[in-house]
Chains A and B, each alone.
Chain A
Amino acid sequence: NAGVTQTPKFRILKIGQSMTLQCTQDMNHNYMYWYRQDPGMGLKLIYYSVGAGITDKGEVPNGYNVSRSTTEDFPLRLELAAPSQTSVYFCASSYSISANYGYTFGSGTRLTVV
């Protein structure tokens, strides 16, 4: 049981480049989330999804896009990367918020934009 898998683990982008952060879960969870964590800060919600075909904005969606074509996958797209998007990105999934442990987190993607 792999849980939540994020790829890549590390990436350096140049300003203006684009990339997709991949997130896959094998637990048949309906809820999936993308958070970013800036150095020394808490996690801020970028986008989330309550099921395949349904996505919604979180607190900091600007500069990002998501899609949810399957239950398993929830990729995060960065268009025109900017230095302000330098952060650690965490994907998470959940069967339900009332589940005993809340979220299952991926191990994170550390992104640097130069």
Chain B
Amino acid sequence: AQKVTQAQTEISVVEKEDVTLDCVYETRDTTYYLFWYKQPPSGELVFLIRRNSFDEQNEISGRYSWNFQKSTSSFNFTITASQVVDSAVYFCAPQIEGNKLTFGGGTRVLVKP
């Protein structure tokens, strides 16, 4: 059963547009952490953001922002004013089972100049 769902498989935007990536997950835990990672064409996995489940205040870090809603188990991620270098696959990875992360299927973002 799919426990972490990233419904958007691919998003294509023109540079400077905003991009919002959706993530929905299933968990019985009440306290957990959530992460977003980026995988550029070179293949490495790059940490982007971390969020805990007991603080629902949404935050902004540079061009990145995120919207966490515990009631709907959603953890959406937004890139503001996208750039060509943002072209990558983005993974949502919540800690929904023990001391390990469960990854979604990823969303490929293509930013065109």
Contact = CB atoms under 8 A, between A and B. Distances in A.
Residues of B in contact with A, size category? 20 to 34
A105 to B, nearest CB: 4
Interface residues of A, number: 24
Contacts of B43: 88, 107-108
A35 B37 CA distance: 14
Contact of A97 (B6, B100, B103): B100
Given A41-B106, A98-B33, A103 B99 contact: no
Given A98-B33, A105-B45, A42 B50 contact: no
Interface of B: 4, 6, 33, 35, 43-45, 47, 50, 52, 91, 93, 95, 99-106
Interface of A: 31, 33, 35, 41-45, 48, 50, 58, 88, 90, 94, 96-98, 100-103, 105, 107-108
27 contacts: A31-B99, A31-B100, A41-B105, A41-B106, A42-B4, A42-B91, A43-B91, A43-B93, A43-B103, A45-B100, A48-B99, A48-B100, A88-B43, A90-B45, A97-B33, A97-B99, A97-B101, A98-B52, A100-B50, A101-B35, A101-B47, A102-B47, A102-B95, A105-B44, A105-B45, A107-B43, A108-B44
